[in-house]
Structure 1
Amino acid sequence: MSAKKQTGKPKNKRARNSQSIQRTKKNKQALNKLVRRKKRNRLFIEVICGMGLLILLIYAQSYFFFSLAKVDSYAMSPTLKLGEYVLIEKQAPIQRQAIVLIKRKSAQKSELRRVIGLPTEKIAYQNDQLFINEEERAEPFIALEKKAAFENGFVYTKDFSLYEVTGVETIPKDTYFVMGDNRLYSTDSREYSVIKKEEIIGVVNTSQ
């Protein structure tokens, strides 16, 4: 009897060891699954956060630095074609002959026009020639249109002085005189006077 009991103990011990090993394996497997799940969750959160940050950066860039504008009139023809999109740089300096996107307070939508006169300047047109502070200034962007108009017996830009169209002798501080390149059909500062700096959204990037 004692011999049988002694031979049975190792079997029970091996069985317990086997069960313990199986439990350990199961615990390790469960732990590995938990670790993998946490890694997936962490990766998912990182991807979502990355996408959110990217969207935020794009929005910030669009709001503070760049935007797109669609040409929706013939006022800047032939320089800008109807239906095309232009890149607007919101932090670019406003310089003479720059094309700018403006939003007048009295207008329902934004407009693309060219800067002709800067603050403190006096401008006038005479015989299709631009004068700034009584000095002739070239306008290469409409040279072909002016030539065609001359050959057909009319002027491309009708005569006017700053005082005649705005009631002031010189362009006030922080305001600009803008015109469309399509002088015969553009509504611009000749009709609605000078525009304020705060009404200029940005400058068209012409290096595209």
Structure 2
Amino acid sequence: MTGAFLAGLVAGYGVAVPVGAIAILILGLSARTSFRVGAAAALGVAAADGLYAAVAALGGAAVAGLIAPVAGPLRLAAAAVLLALAGHGAWRALRPRAATGTTGARRGLDTPPRAFAGVLALTLLNPATVVYFAALVLGRGDAADPDPRAAALFVLGAFVASASWQLLIAGGGTLVGRVLAGPRGRLVTALLSSAIIAALAVAMLLPD
């Protein structure tokens, strides 16, 4: 059973470590707001990865086959959402300070519940994750007759790996935010984050 947990751990790090738009989004959120917001976003990613790992562990090849036809539209939707977030982040950074206020309600992903729900939904728009996990499950030979305990340990390992890595990114964003604590530093951080997210979103639209 330990082997299933370790397999999930390795699989989770395999899907989490490559830096993409979501990682940059978490980094920027932590730098602009607080570690609590970044951590909530990080756990949203981990929850999505854990869910996809569970679906793959229980469904295997059948799930991968169902996901394949809608992979293209989901990728377009994810790119559109990322571009919207990048534009919104840049607009908020550039608008006059007097218009932002300090007492108004925060919007977007700037609260822990919104960060968790928003990033969870955005991560679920990436069907490649479930295909990735399904391929690993099939490679281990567990898909034909999945053991519920082994599947649960595989999912737990994937969740722990994803959560630990994404929380590390959130912590790094918090450190960046403290170093660049002034208005100019936060402006640069927000604009750079938005630019990178937009570039990665455009890259998602390019043919493989």
TM-score by length of 2: 0.23
Which structure's residues are more often helix, by fraction? 2
Which structure's residues are more often strand, by fraction? 1
TM-score by length of 1: 0.23
Higher RCO by CA contacts (8 Å cutoff, separation 6 or greater): 2
Q: Which has the larger radius of gyration?
A: 1
